[in-house]
């Protein structure tokens, strides 16, 4: 019996060793499986993000093409028809004592205003013009148009006039600015809007838009897409994501709103 004890110990040791090896093997298999599953989930998430970005990119490109087409149609068709009507009215030679003189004169003034307003709208919609005059001038022009429409008072300041952006970034930044202004017009009930462009250093661009309107609950608005403001905020954030920009929104009911768009840049040489 005592001679059998070493054999029993050997069997026990071998059994324990085999059990440990089996447990280690199972743990290793589980670890490798989880690691592989994690990689697959990461790859699926990456592919999903790429697909969503490509889909969003396509949607925005279609929207820009639509803007351009509408602007061209407005200019070529509606603009020309208004010009013909203006020319027809100009050919009428009525004396001041004519009973229709005042109404014809008022019609001419209204027609002139309609032609100028249509021109402003088509210019702000046309992509080529935005890239031609640059982001700063496009923003200035848009603010001037809003001020002329007496929607609210505006002010603009810029620490730098020349930025090195590719066309896509420049268009996206301007469309983001337009979307913010559109939300301000529809919902803010503001009397004054201040726009600032800052360059805190050589590699940072910052667009700040502030209003003195009614404000809103940011978290609540970002969660909803049932209102135009919710959709507008989502569009702004999506555009920013596509060009590597960030958007910070600071607002609360009763204290106005502030939008800050930040983007890294290479400043061009001043001219």
Q: What is the pLDDT of residues 121-138, one digit of tens each?
A: 666 666 777 778 888 888
- Averaged pLDDT for residues 47-76: 62
Average pLDDT over residues 245-261: 93
Model pLDDT, residue 239: 83
pLDDT of residue 267: 45
pTM of the model: 0.60
Flag the least confident range among 117-121, 131-135, 200-204, 254-258.
117-121
Round to the nearest angstrom and report the end-to-end CA distance of the chain: 103
pLDDT for the residue 153: 92
pLDDT, residue 120, reads: 60
Query: Structurally, what CATH architecture does the domain formed by 153-271 represent?
Result: 2-Layer Sandwich (3.30)
Averaged pLDDT, 180-209 = 88
Instruction: Name all contacts of 73-80 with Cβ < 8 Å and 24+ positions apart.
Output: 74/118, 74/121, 74/122, 74/125, 75/118, 75/119, 75/122, 78/118, 79/115, 79/118, 79/119, 79/122
Structural contact between residues 138 and 158, judged by C-beta atoms closer than 8 angstroms: no
pLDDT (average), residues 55-79: 62
**Averaged pLDDT for residues 201-207:** 82
d(CA 71, CA 93): 34
Region of poorest pLDDT, from 77-81, 218-222, 243-247? 77-81
Whether 51 shows a pLDDT value over 60: the answer reads no
CA 92 to chain centre: 48
Domain with CATH 3.30.565.10 in the chain: 153-271
Average pLDDT over residues 230-255: 86
Exposure of 19 in the CB half-sphere (CA atoms within 13 A) = 6
Mean pLDDT for all residues in the chain: 76
CA-closest candidate to residue 151, choices 114, 188, 106: 188
Choose among 203, 227, 216: nearest CA to 250.
216
Position 159 scores a pLDDT of 79
Could you read off the pLDDT of 68-98 as tens digits, one per residue? Answer: 666 566 655 666 666 666 666 666 666 677 7
Report the pLDDT value the prediction gives residue 208, as an integer from 0 to 100.
95
| Phi-psi sector, 267: left (phi>0), alpha (psi -120 to 50), beta | beta
For the segment 49-67, the average pLDDT, to the nearest whole number, is: 61
Average pLDDT value for residue range 156-163: 76
Closest C-alpha to 192, from 181, 202, 203, 200: 181
Residue 250: band (very low, low, confident or very high) from pLDDT cuts 50, 70, 90: very high
Categorize the per-residue pLDDT at 194 as very low, low, confident or very high, splitting at 50, 70 and 90. very high
CA atoms within 13 Å, Cβ hemisphere of 98: 11
270, pLDDT greater than 50? no
If pLDDT is split at 50, 70 and 90, which confidence band does 220 have? confident
């Amino acid at each position: 019996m005592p001679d059998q004890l070493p054999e029993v110990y050997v069997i026990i040791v071998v059994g324990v060793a085999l059990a440990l090896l089996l447990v280690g093997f199972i743990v290793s298999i589980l670890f490798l499986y989880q690691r592989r599953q994690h990689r697959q989930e990461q790859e699926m998430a990456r592919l999903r993000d790429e697909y969503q970005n490509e889909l969003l990119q396509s949607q925005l490109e279609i929207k820009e093409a639509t803007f351009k087409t509408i602007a061209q149609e407005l200019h070529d068709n509606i603009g020309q028809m208004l010009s013909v009507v203006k020319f027809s009215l100009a050919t009428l030679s009525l004396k001041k004592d004519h009973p229709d003189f005042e109404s014809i004169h008022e019609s001419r003034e209204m027609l002139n205003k309609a032609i100028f307003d249509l021109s402003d709208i088509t210019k702000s919609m046309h992509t080529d013009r935005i890239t031609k005059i640059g982001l700063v001038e496009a923003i200035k022009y848009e603010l001037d148009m809003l001020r002329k429409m007496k929607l609210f008072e505006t002010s603009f300041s810029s620490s730098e006039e020349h930025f090195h952006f590719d066309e896509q970034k420049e268009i996206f930044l301007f469309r983001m600015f337009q979307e913010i202004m559109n939300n301000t017009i529809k919902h803010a009930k503001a009397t004054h809007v201040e726009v600032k462009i800052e360059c805190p250093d050589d590699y940072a661009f910052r667009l700040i838009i502030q209003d003195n309107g009614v404000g809103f609950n940011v978290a609540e608005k970002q969660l909803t897409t049932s209102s135009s403001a919710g959709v507008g905020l989502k569009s702004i954030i999506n555009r920013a994501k596509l060009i590597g920009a960030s958007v910070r929104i600071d607002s609360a009911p009763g204290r106005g709103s502030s939008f800050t768009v930040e983007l890294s840049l290479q400043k061009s040489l001043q001219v």
